[in-house]
Amino acid sequence: MTTASAPTGFTVVIPARMASSRLPNKPLADIAGLPMVVRVAQRALQSKASSVVVAADDERIVQACQAHGIRALLTRQDHVSGSDRLAEACQLLGLADDAVVVNVQGDEPLIHPGLINEVAELLTQRPEASMSTAAHAIAELQEFTNPNVVKVVLDARQMALYFSRAPIPWWRDGQSDVGFQSLPSPAPLRHVGIYGYRAGFLRLFPQLPPAPIETMESLEQLRAMWHGHRIAVHITPEAPGPGVDTPEDLNRVRALLAA
């Protein structure tokens, strides 16, 4: 993965909240002797970011980060989304409107530092985009048809046309009576949940009314597109490491690090 051209000066913000129905106290889950959110921050510190900050909703997360030399901010507990928490963090950090912020999810302890660089660099290359993100080619049919796997369709300049939980682009001639039997060609793209923003747009985003398609698909990035903002997409050749949403995911990541 190319990282040499990645910009310096961007900020990584890692939103972290204690509430998780499937994995209570998720940010503090132990992974090889360190809290998960600390693992994520350590990976982010290997990128070219000038600053890595955890935006937490609980003092216990802040204390755990500080105990391991990770900068952390205490944000409000009543934010309805990670984007709202990011917007508050931008305010607390006093970031200029044109500052580039990369949102790394707090449950991605195997995030590749090079991917963070690529998402930041893409936003600097595309002044017409308010956001940047990433995707990779789907190799398994079950991923294409799985509604928990978000797909994205791009235009000729690798700007997002639409994100969906449905199998898109819809392969009209690839169906039988029992559904799709193989993947279309070229391969469809799986969205990777990492985002680059300009701080000014992050401050604007919570003020935008939710979009009908956002509510229907339960995909927050569709709000930006609904209101006319463009999202540039970096296609990465590497599938990201597994995230942690459940106890089973946690055990899998623990095993991978132990190996």
Sign of CA dihedral 63, 69, 70, 72: positive
Confidence at residue 71, expressed as pLDDT on a 0 to 100 scale = 96
Count CA within 13 A, CB hemisphere, residue 74: 8
Mean pLDDT over each residue of the chain, to the nearest integer:
90
In a domain, 257, yes or no: no
**Alpha carbons 178 and 77: distance in angstroms, whole number:** 46
In a domain, 243, yes or no: yes
pTM of the model: 0.90
Please count the structural domains in the chain.
1
In a domain, 5, yes or no: no
pLDDT tens column, 212-259:
999 999 999 999 999 999 999 999 998 888 888 888 889 999 998 887
State the residue range of the domain holding 245: 11-249
**Alpha carbons 47 and 254: distance in angstroms, whole number:** 22
Predicted confidence (pLDDT) at residue 5 exceeds the cutoff of 60: no
In a domain, 4, yes or no: no
pLDDT tens column, 150-186:
999 999 999 999 999 999 999 888 877 777 888 989 9
Predicted confidence (pLDDT) at residue 57 exceeds the cutoff of 60: yes
CATH number of the structural domain spanning residue 108: 3.90.550.10
More confident residue, 12 or 106: 12
In a domain, 6, yes or no: no
**Alpha carbons 194 and 235: distance in angstroms, whole number:** 12
Question: Average pLDDT of 59-78?
Answer: 93
The answer to whether 34 touches 70, Cβ cutoff 8 Å, is: no
**Alpha carbons 167 and 146: distance in angstroms, whole number:** 8
Question: Average pLDDT of 26-45?
Answer: 93
Percent of the chain with pLDDT over 70: 96
In a domain, 56, yes or no: yes
Confidence at residue 222, expressed as pLDDT on a 0 to 100 scale = 97
Across 108-123, b (16+ Cβ under 10 Å) vs e yields: bbbbbbbbbbbbbbbb
Confidence at residue 80, expressed as pLDDT on a 0 to 100 scale = 77
SS3 of 141-168: the string is HHHHHCCCCCEEEECCCCEEEEEECCCC
In a domain, 219, yes or no: yes
In a domain, 199, yes or no: yes
